[in-house]
Structure 1
Amino acid sequence: MVTAEGWFERTDLVSEAERKLWDAQLDQPRQLNPVYIGPPDPASGAAWELDRQIRAGLIRQILLGRGPDPNPCVLRLEGARITEELSLEASRLACPLDLRGCYFDERISFEQTRAPAIYLTNCNIPNGISADQVCTLNSFELSGSEIRNGVTMLAARIGGQLLMTSTKIFKEDGVSLSAQGLTVQKGAVFRSFVSEGKVVFTGSTFGRGLNMGAAKLTKSNDGFALDAHRLNVKGSLYLKNGFRAEGEVDLTGTRVQGVLRFTGGRFERSGAQVSRNRVLGLARVIVEQNAYLDREFYANGTVHLLDAQIGGSLRCQGGTFTNDTDTAIYAAGITVGRDVELSKANAEQGEDPRGFSADGKVVLSDAKIGGKLDCSGGSFKNEQSIAIDAKGLTAGSVIFSDQSRLDGTVDLRRVQVSGRLQAGICLQASQVRLKGLTYASLGDEAPDLKKRLQWLRGKEYIPQVYRQLASVYQSQGDKGDAKRILVAGESAQFRKRAWPIKVLGWIFRGTVGYGYYPALVLVWLVGLEVVGGVLFSFLRSDMLLAPIYINPFTDRADFHHPLGSITGAHGETDHGYPAYQPWLYTLDLLLPVVNLRQSDIWIPHRAAEWCSIIFIIAGWALATALVVGLGSMFTRDRQDPNTSIP
């Protein structure tokens, strides 16, 4: 007879299953073994007859210590059909609940329940579970169970582990697992977990990590497969080895004290994502160790890493990031303690030999990388636009190899590299922006100087990039190449000017090397002196050069002045003027300031006159080029002493 409080007596039991459960509580040695009602095949549980049915009220009575044993050790049951609603709301259970392979006719309620532990494994629960504010001393497990109409665990407190290995939860047009504010003391395992509907972990805490390896999250109606922003994971976070999400995985603001590993994870857009392309939200995450988006990782949409902080390395070797109409990776302002590896893995170390691949823009602007940015062997594709946006990035070293594939512009403006820059030949002048790029050294495998200079010749002239490269060569003791770089920079400047300025540039370069080779003036001077000496010796013999007091074209035709009568036997003319010396005469024409009196006494006529004018102009040009070149050199030294080349 049912008591006034609603409790059952043994005589009230209506099925063999209920009597087995009642008697098992009296048989102390058997309490540790499950009460076997029938084969645990819950998929067909709705058809189980009375002999396998147990009313939920009896289970509740035993759990509250009102059954045959007031101090039950555990309630373990296998292969039963639980009729009526199992409601344990606001109850304190006297023992753990362990149901295996059972079928539930109605919804289960654990709201505000306090229990030593709850295990519902390999069960079929067609009407869902309400477990808001449930509190367990040990674990809460739903492994292998199939649950429809969702599970709610708002503000639940799990003292042990939360186990949902191979659990399947379905909720059409809604949230399949709602666990905002959940706290799990010893970690959560969701390996091979399946959800058709949205999973929500907003603001939850996982004490020893969260493992969702090989989980499948699909059919979200609002575009979010996993809404888990502001998680606190006091261990490692795994979405790896076959993890798949159709819809955005939002981990914005999450803190992970261990490793963030998404190796082999697959993140795809769902049909509900109409207005956004983001599939993985990691903005402002804090990861104290390494983050892995590598080895068969796949994202079909934007991976958002805005202002993320990673204490170790960000490894993306073998990862594929595709968003051909937008940004593949948005990591502006990211801080990484060690390396960012957007490269090809080392096959010799047994790693996946496939390289990093991005189809869409990769944004690393204002990133701070303590180690290296390694893009060797990586593929970056964003044709007709920017493939890599690294404006303002700082790093210990930046590496591109000849195997790096770049289809699009690489923006390295204001990048600061405290160590080595290795650019290879993959960066062409038409696809790289270098204004403000600084670096301390160049990689050993970088191309020769000629190819380096081709790398600097972009669409616009930027003097800083030439001075930066020259300073590196100078710091390595190669002052000759440093000068050649600076000269190439000046040539690039004049190539961008109008043609009259270009002509002046050619003269400026040929005469004094834009001020970096002032000794070239002496070469030109010696060459002109030799040419002039020979030329004016020939012109004098034809009387096209004559003393100032004789005009060979106006004096009488029969008036003849033999050469000896003009020069004299002692090196002077008959009138006491200096004797004609073609070499001194040439030098007098070439030196604008110095007066050797040769050009004052000996007057050119006809062809000699034109030759003299040419030599005077050449002399003034050389002098002007020398003065301007030296002045430019001193001005450059004051503006940028790091590129002062003696």
Structure 2
Amino acid sequence: MMINDLTPAERRVWEAFPRGASVDFRTADDEDAASGGGWGPERTVRAAVLRALLLGGPEEEREIAALKLTGARITGLLDLNSATVDAAVRLSHCHFEEPPRLYGAQLRRLNLRGSALPGMDAGALQIDGVLRMTDCRVRGPVGLGGVRIARALFLDGAEFTTENPAEPVLRLNQAEIGGDLWAPGMRAHGTVRLTGASVAGMVDVRGAELTGPAGPALDAPNLTVDSDVLARELCALGRLELRGSRITGRLDLMGARLSNPGDTALRASSSVIGELWLLRGDRVDGALNLRRARIDTLLLEPEVLPDEVQLSDLSYTALIPHEPAGRRLPMLERNGGVYQPYVYEQLTAAYRRIGDDDAARLVQLAKQRRRRATLPWYGRLWGRVQDVTVGYGFRPLRAAVWLLSLLAVGSVAYGLDHPAPLKADEAPDFNPVFYTLDLLLPVIDFGQERAYAPDGWHQGLAYGLVVAGWILATAIIAGVTRTVSRQ
């Protein structure tokens, strides 16, 4: 391109490029680039001029060339597909009339801060420094699949929309980011896709608003993050999909609003997470799926859990904050009515690690009661007997209460009306307490039962006490055996 073909605005940009000087066409610092379609020729630059500069622009000795343009209306197609650009590129607060094409390009760094774009195709883009799209307004899909960014990606305050609700507004699938993915306050009306992406630093989406009108709000299966995912105060209308992800630090959803009515609000199944923080926010509106996940520390408040919580094969080391067992047990029942013994064992282990044996026993008791509902009628009957008598071995004092109650009934009844002796001259003196104990305790013999022969109502009461004694003894043995086997 000849310099004689340039407009006055383009000439300013052309002459500034070899020295890396900035050209700012703005008339006010608070201009909105989204309204830049009406900017006149005094601040209009053709994309072809920018392409010519970046691929073979003038150079000056002892100067570092760079494209630093602010507040321009860029017309035409900026096509840098597969290009190698050595100069830094800053096109901030600019209005693009056509989506830039950067597929397979290699850049030092790219800064689009505050710009308005109708979309962008930058798949397989390689950047040696950072890609900055802070405060950008994008009205079409942004394709960044397979990008390689040596340092950080900045999307803070950016807004992504598209006319096709079924099309992802931002694609970062298989992206490799050598630093942080920085996106607090980002707004996306459409799916943000990070399938298989890898982030060496942290992912920060605090206060972001993600809406998936026709799909997930965030589609990030197999995401790898070597630090934290900070999502405090996040508003996600649609599923958060983190299936199979690996998050070394914490997934912080403190104060987040997760809503996907009638479907899954958060799926982190088969994931490995250092810490999951889900507290101090609205109640999750939709199912919570943590099946087969491995989480070191689980911070869950019972108030935020939804009606459906899928925890099968979930393993965790610590459960915080410490809550009574009665507040934790309901989440184990919210799995569509399916009995899963493993979830009870995990909760029991969490209580035992912090020395709360009473809570651990309550969880085990709840497990046995839940298991009872899956048994045939005779199993349910025997389970109820064990529950009533000794609480499946977790309430041993119940046995003493039953024993003392039956002992009192028998002692009073036989004390008021003694049964007749078998041999009056050989029988020991009748003692209603020890006679009742002889009937109740099948393995102890005080000599009273053998010496007296009850009849009538005496005999019926004796039979009842013998049967009750055997049932009580069997339930105690079963409960003790179960407790010992667990220890």
* TM-score, scaled relative to structure 1: 0.65
Instruction: Specify the SS of the correspondent of 2:303.
Output: coil
Aligned mate of 1:450, from 326, 339, 345: 326
Tell me, yes or no, if the aligned pair for 2:238 and 2:265 is still in contact at 8 Å.
Answer: yes
Instruction: Specify the SS of the correspondent of 2:355.
Output: coil
Alpha carbons of 1:57 and 1:357: their partners in 2 closer, same or farther (altered >3 Å)?
Answer: closer
- Higher helix proportion, which one? 2
For 2:328, the aligned partner's letter is R
Q: Does 1:531 align with 2:422?
A: no
Per mean C-alpha deviation after superposition, the further-off stretch among 386-395 and 446-455 is 446-455
Tell me which residue corresponds to 1:436.
313
The count of residues paired between Structure 1 and Structure 2 equals: 462
Q: Does 1:216 align with 2:93?
A: no
Tell me, yes or no, if the aligned pair for 1:309 and 1:336 is still in contact at 8 Å.
Answer: yes
The CA deviation string for residues 398-450 of structure 1, in whole angstroms up to 9 with x for no partner, is 1122323411111122222223423342114x221122222222324x54432
Alpha carbons of 1:374 and 1:358: their partners in 2 closer, same or farther (altered >3 Å)?
Answer: same
Distance 1:162 1:205 in 2: 15
Tell me which residue corresponds to 2:154.
261
Tell me which residue corresponds to 2:272.
394
The CA deviation string for residues 605-624 of structure 1, in whole angstroms up to 9 with x for no partner, is 12112211211111111122
Distance 1:238 1:491 in 2: 57
Tell me which residue corresponds to 2:420.
546
Distance 1:586 1:357 in 2: 69
The CA deviation string for residues 558-609 of structure 1, in whole angstroms up to 9 with x for no partner, is xxxxxxxxxxxxxxx31x2344322222122212334444333322212112
Distance 1:150 1:261 in 2: 27
Instruction: Specify the SS of the correspondent of 2:169.
Output: strand
Distance 1:152 1:515 in 2: 80
Q: Does 1:189 align with 2:90?
A: yes
Distance 2:481 2:42 in 1: 82
**Alpha-carbon shift at residue 317 of structure 1 (Å):** 1.2
Alpha carbons of 1:449 and 1:391: their partners in 2 closer, same or farther (altered >3 Å)?
Answer: same
The CA deviation string for residues 271-317 of structure 1, in whole angstroms up to 9 with x for no partner, is xx47x43110011111222212222x111111001111112211111
**Alpha-carbon shift at residue 116 of structure 1 (Å):** 6.9
**Alpha-carbon shift at residue 79 of structure 1 (Å):** 4.5
Q: Does 1:280 align with 2:175?
A: no
Q: Does 1:493 align with 2:371?
A: yes
Highest RCO, 1 vs 2 (Cα 8 Å, sep ≥ 6): 2
**Alpha-carbon shift at residue 240 of structure 1 (Å):** 1.3
Aligned mate of 2:131, from 237, 260, 271: 237
Tell me which residue corresponds to 1:168.
73
Aligned mate of 1:407, from 268, 280, 285: 285
Distance 1:579 1:367 in 2: 78
| Correspondences of 1:87-486 after superposition (within 5 Å) | 99-100=11-12, 144-147=43-46, 156=55, 160-171=65-76, 176-207=77-108, 209-218=109-118, 225-241=119-135, 243-270=136-163, 273=164, 276-295=166-185, 297-343=186-232, 355-428=233-306, 430-444=307-321, 447-458=323-334, 459-486=337-364
| Correspondences of 1:563-642 after superposition (within 5 Å) | 573-574=424-425, 576-635=426-485, 637=486
Instruction: Specify the SS of the correspondent of 1:324.
Output: coil
Tell me, yes or no, if the aligned pair for 1:157 and 1:184 is still in contact at 8 Å.
Answer: no
Alpha carbons of 1:578 and 1:358: their partners in 2 closer, same or farther (altered >3 Å)?
Answer: same
Tell me, yes or no, if the aligned pair for 1:162 and 1:188 is still in contact at 8 Å.
Answer: yes
For 1:188, the aligned partner's letter is V
The CA deviation string for residues 524-566 of structure 1, in whole angstroms up to 9 with x for no partner, is 32332232222222231xxxx22336xxxxxxxxxxxxxxxxx
Distance 1:358 1:495 in 2: 38
Tell me, yes or no, if the aligned pair for 2:147 and 2:174 is still in contact at 8 Å.
Answer: yes
5+ long unaligned stretches in structure 2: 26-40, 58-63
Distance 1:195 1:386 in 2: 38
Instruction: Specify the SS of the correspondent of 1:99.
Output: helix
Distance 1:598 1:327 in 2: 77
Alpha carbons of 1:180 and 1:153: their partners in 2 closer, same or farther (altered >3 Å)?
Answer: farther
Distance 1:607 1:153 in 2: 112
Tell me, yes or no, if the aligned pair for 2:23 and 2:68 is still in contact at 8 Å.
Answer: no
Aligned-pair RMSD on alpha carbons? Answer: 3.2
Distance 1:378 1:586 in 2: 64
Tell me, yes or no, if the aligned pair for 1:441 and 1:472 is still in contact at 8 Å.
Answer: yes
Alpha carbons of 1:101 and 1:356: their partners in 2 closer, same or farther (altered >3 Å)?
Answer: closer
Alpha carbons of 1:120 and 1:289: their partners in 2 closer, same or farther (altered >3 Å)?
Answer: closer
Alpha carbons of 1:580 and 1:340: their partners in 2 closer, same or farther (altered >3 Å)?
Answer: same
Instruction: Specify the SS of the correspondent of 1:199.
Output: coil
Instruction: Specify the SS of the correspondent of 2:316.
Output: strand
Percent identity between the two aligned chains: 27
Instruction: Specify the SS of the correspondent of 1:327.
Output: coil
Instruction: Specify the SS of the correspondent of 1:381.
Output: strand
Instruction: Specify the SS of the correspondent of 2:478.
Output: helix
